[in-house]
Amino acid sequence: MAPISKECDFLVIGCGSGGLACARRASGQWGAKTIAVESNRLGGTCVNVGCVPKKVTWNAAAIAETLHEAASYGFQIKETAPFDFKTFKHKRDDYVHRLNNIYARNLSKDKVEYLHGRAHLLDKNSAEVTLDNGTRETIRAKKILIATGGHPNVPKNIPGAELGITSDGFFDLETLPKRVALVGAGYIAVEMAGMFHHLGSETHLFIRHETFLRTFDPMIQESIVDEYERQGIIIHRNSAQQKIEKLDGQPGWMRMHYTDKTAPDGSTIDLDCLLWAIGRSPEVEDLGLDKAGVKQDERGHVVADDYQNTSVDNIYALGDVCGKVELTPVAIAAGRQLGNRLFGGPAFKDAKLDYENVPSVVFAHPEVGSIGLSEPDAVAKYGSENVTVYRTSFTAMYYAMMDPTEKAPTKYKVVCQGTDERVVGMHILGAGSSEMLQGFGVAVKMGCRKRDLDSCVAIHPTSAEELVTMK
């Protein structure tokens, strides 16, 4: 059967957060005839195997943490049954499926034609889509957006690496592992290590260096590593993995051979779950970028400027496929701005996302929040003589009723530049950091000075008041 041909103003390849936001803005607000193509589930990584189910799992781990701490407040809680991970997992799946359906309804409401299939560029104005039933459609579009996201990596040079899972596989687990090893030092490894630990798994975190979250301010790195060890997470520093093999007679179990700081000559650990969190790659396989002449960088990311323009006229790219600030809200904001610029008329001809001072949070235990420059980056950019740093470390009132060994840290740092002390970085660690940073992020984005923080009357008693009372 010959391919069916369609024409549109705007073809969006990839229906994750960024692609959906752009498609809906183009069609629903500006009336552009839009076709959106997705080969997996609507919502992309964030909704299906990222932010959303991760936060639900973090909530469960936080409840487990609170139950443990309740005794310090006089509550005597008797556990009558272990945590029902399987029931929790299926309820989490149901929630994600509801979101998938909501996204489908939103596309219909905004008159976006949705095709479920795999798209392959033919040239700069057309693509072929292979649908689920094997039929093909050729789509000619005046403009094309690549928003295909990324996928987690698995090592290619470690025998038996395929016995492990990735962050995608984390959400397929039907039972809670007894002993889990996570390999990686980024926010995915750190978040999942915290969740596994507080839900009851013996948790080992393998990192290549001395600390994790190494793109964050040193205060964050050092404090969260110390706190994870205090909680009982076993951290293997300066580690490397040699091979993984199945254990005979123990279905689901494996043995990992490794070296680390305490075992430089090698050791082994038996596991029923191994999770690789060693980075992500752009989802560009079989996309046909070469046929359209779209330039990629050395890691395969699509090269796009601040306006989301690629090397080819009328082809645009945003989100994780570009490898620039890989956060869901960034992709959404960039998608809406691009939709405005392409179809919103002269008033939006210069619309683009400002990628400076993007707040981000790590849902660790405790939470970590960061916006702007770390202290070393600020010194490198402005010179040490032009940087002033304010910091505080304290025990949040929540922990006042607990034994000293049970008290988690709270640490804040504000990095300022120049004689008028413009805030160029804010880094916070402690309970409530995620909600707290959203508000302070607005202030930093507006160019606040240290005196602006000082001028705000503190809300007492809170942890956040420390950010407006630093000396």
Handedness of CA 339, 344, 350, 356 (dihedral sign): negative
Task: Retrieve residue 54's tokens.
Answer: 């991760």
Catalytic residue among 120, 151, 257, 460: 460
Q: How many CA atoms lie within 13 A of 86 on its CB side?
A: 3
The 3-state DSSP class for residue 383 equals: coil
**C-alpha R_g of the chain:** 24
Catalytic (active site) residue 197: no
> Cα–Cα distance between 184 and 193 in angstroms, integer?
10
> Cα–Cα distance between 174 and 176 in angstroms, integer?
7
> Cα–Cα distance between 196 and 231 in angstroms, integer?
12
The stretches of 270-399 forming alpha helices (DSSP H) are 289-292, 328-343, 375-382
| Angle subtended at Cα 120 by Cα 119 and Cα 122, rounded to the nearest 5 degrees | 135
Please state whether beta strands 422-429 and 368-372 pair in parallel, antiparallel, or not at all (unpaired): antiparallel
Distances 386 to 9, 40, 88, 219, 383 between C-alpha atoms, Å: 50, 49, 51, 20, 6
Asked if residue 276 lies in contact with residue 143, where contact means CB atoms within 8 angstroms, the answer is no
Task: Retrieve residue 34's tokens.
Answer: 């839009």
> Cα–Cα distance between 180 and 276 in angstroms, integer?
11
The stretches of 159-272 forming alpha helices (DSSP H) are 167-170, 187-199, 218-231
Number of Cβ within 10 Å of residue 55's Cβ equals 14
Catalytic residue numbers?
Answer: 460
